[in-house]
Structure 1
Amino acid sequence: MVSVVSVVEVRLVGGGNACQGRVEVLYGRSWGTVCDDVWDLQDAEVVCRQLGCGSAVSALGNAFYGAGSGQIWMDNVQCSGSESQLSQCRHNGWGTHDCSHVEDASVICSRGVEVRLVGGGNACQGRVEVLYGRSWGTVCDDVWDLRDAEVVCRQLGCGSAVSAVGNAFYGVGSGRIWMDNVQCNGSESQLSQCRQNGWSTHDCSHVEDASVICSRGVEVRLVDGGNACQGRVEVLYRKFWGTVCDDFWDLQDTEVVCRQLGCGSAVSAVGNAFYGVGSGQIWMDNVQCNGSESQLSQCRQNGWGTHDCSHVEDASVICSRGADLAESGRFRLVGGGNACQGRVEVLYKKFWGTVCDDFWELQDAEVVCRQLGCGSAVSAPGNARYGAGSGRIWMDNVQCNGSESQLSQCRQNGWGTHDCSHVEDASVVCSLGMAKKMNCTQDSFEH
């Protein structure tokens, strides 16, 4: 038995990815194979480490990934498991063996066991399937729990685990059942690193196939608001769309929905089925986000489908990009003789209304002028300077920092919540309104 310490390249062939397959080594400018005599998990561990493929899952013999060709370079390999290269392990000597290629050794590393979710409508929810030994198979739901699901979601880049589901919830699979009695501690980077019975050792049928719902698999949509960025909140969970109860529903929760949908910032968190009652399940109640979550499914709540609500309490959202504030974010200045000065009016839920002058100041006016393309703010008059409006007063106690691109992004009491009358209607004078060089001749300008 000799020990050779020169660095020799290693590759895995025939396994469908770089981290599982037949072991081949480059020696003397020629690729050759390794004989499976005394080939074990310690030897496989060294191969996986050398290739950056995680930990060893299986050490296979009998040309599991097909017979190689050419030289058989190594036989009777005996690694301690701590070596950094296979060439550092003891063996008979390069090219010294009593084997044929039907005894070629193979390795499956943890990063070679691929995972996918099937039947859930997107890549982040569905039946768990693993690619082991060239074949996709399923996982049995015995002792399947949220810690196991957490590892699957992490491995797939699907966020955190929402549910660990059994009983073939997303349909029965076919072929092999590769894993049973999986027990992860939750910190593993791959499902293949978790404890289990042993590959294909199980007492299950496919009606027990395990499934996972990850946070990025729980889709969110806004319905009946006229566009994709405002409306009743609905979530896709366990193959069905359902609603969210408005108990504790606030701007922090709304902020998460708007972020998840790419709809800008939150404008309003609305309850009482503002955009109409939904149907089917009420999936979430007592939602409490801290506002920094990337998906609504990551927020605290009672538990999926656990609630004391009816659909008249369905929660809704208005995001800044949906804001048309209910119909495309339109503002206008009225009564000033041109489009860049006058009483501020906003279109919300199909009706034009005004803004109360409480706390109204130049920073607020600056946002209006920017939004309308009217230059900079010259003044922010109150007390219905350009005449009292009519209808609703939509905004009160508006507080902009001056950098917002739309008035709808500024803090306020809430749409239609005020203690004002129209004699307090707010107005704006923009620099382009003062210049009187505008081509518009109409009394109002919509943008």
Structure 2
Amino acid sequence: MQAESGAADSVTEGWPMDATSARLALVERLQSDGVLTDLRLRGALTRLDRGVLMPRAYVRRSEQGSEPVVWELLDGAHPEDRTEWQDLVYSGESVLVQRDGERLEDQVRGMVNGGRMTAMSTFTPHTVEVLQRMRIDAGHTYLDLGTGPGVSLALAAALTGPGRAFGVERDEHMAAFTRSSLDRIGAGASVVAGDALDGHAPPAPYDRIHSGIGVPCLPSAWVEQLAPGGRLLTTLATRTPSWPGQCLVTRTTEGHVDAVLEGGPRGHLPLHGFTRLTARHHLQQIASHPGKRRPTAFTPPSDHAYGFWLAAAYLVPGVVRHFQADTVTVVAPEENSWAVAGHGDGTVRIHGPRDVWGELEHVHDLWLRAGSPSTFHVDIPDDGALQHVTSGTGTAALGWELPTLSATP
């Protein structure tokens, strides 16, 4: 730990004196919100100098919906950017660090138009929840897939001890930059450039595996590289960003594999090339022409009924929710269809050829008949066959098949 402190001090020399205070304030917020409960992880967060891992960050300067997007790259070493950059890096929000796969060493502060963000840090409360759920102990071997700027990997390395945490990053520029940054803080973690779907075979098996990218099903390499007694956690992604699912895979000491899928408030973005649905292009139409009103007896369960909404992500495919609407609003953008619930008056407005409200109502009936499950079991055949999800046994159980990796859009 002394080497880490020394590295951080040398990097932050000349920076604002409240950088340490900002770091501690982030930790205190996570703890007071009930997110951070593990004392060892609290210590790792307190020591981690995020500014070394994310010395520059992009912020959006144009309004939502405007094209091309106007970005500004903030440089934490520049006096004019320092305050805003520091507030962003220690806000706990996701931080955008790479545009169009650029070399991070060549980044130049200032305004730039267009482009796509290709690397970012994870929303810090989600990082904390994931690491705590992984139950990482000293001496565990840890594999981080889709490492990005390395925040999660650095924290995991602090828990495992040096030389036992490994990261895989698809982008060679990002991998090289993160490897250098981790070395500067003395994290004791390794990063390689490669396809995260292949895992990282040389030091396998791993006691803990975490994927920072969402996948449609569980890659066989990940399961094969999980050690007896190990835990693997990943987002199982559908085309809708509205209702993510988290899948926890455990391997018993006897080698038996068990996988449990459950919904939640957030998850990781899907792998590169995965096309997400968006309601953004239909919002103006929905506002001006919400649709034909009809009565409905269906009152959707609360947003915290994650089991229902997760089932809907699979059984009502191609639908995305507009969470900023006053009432429940769901859109099937590819069919130009939507449903807008009335304000508690037993009505809904329907537009387009697809009755997405009727589909949600049908799935809700099935979910109730299945006993309102909150978790689902994932069957992972040894022969690489389709992975099947079920809420249990019996004729009333809910079930569906997961898409294959080759079927990814």
TM over 0.5: no
**TM score, norm. by length of structure 2:** 0.24
Instruction: Say which structure is richer in helix.
Output: 2
TM norm structure 1: 0.22
Which is strand-richer, 1 or 2?
1
Please say which structure displays the higher CA radius of gyration: 1
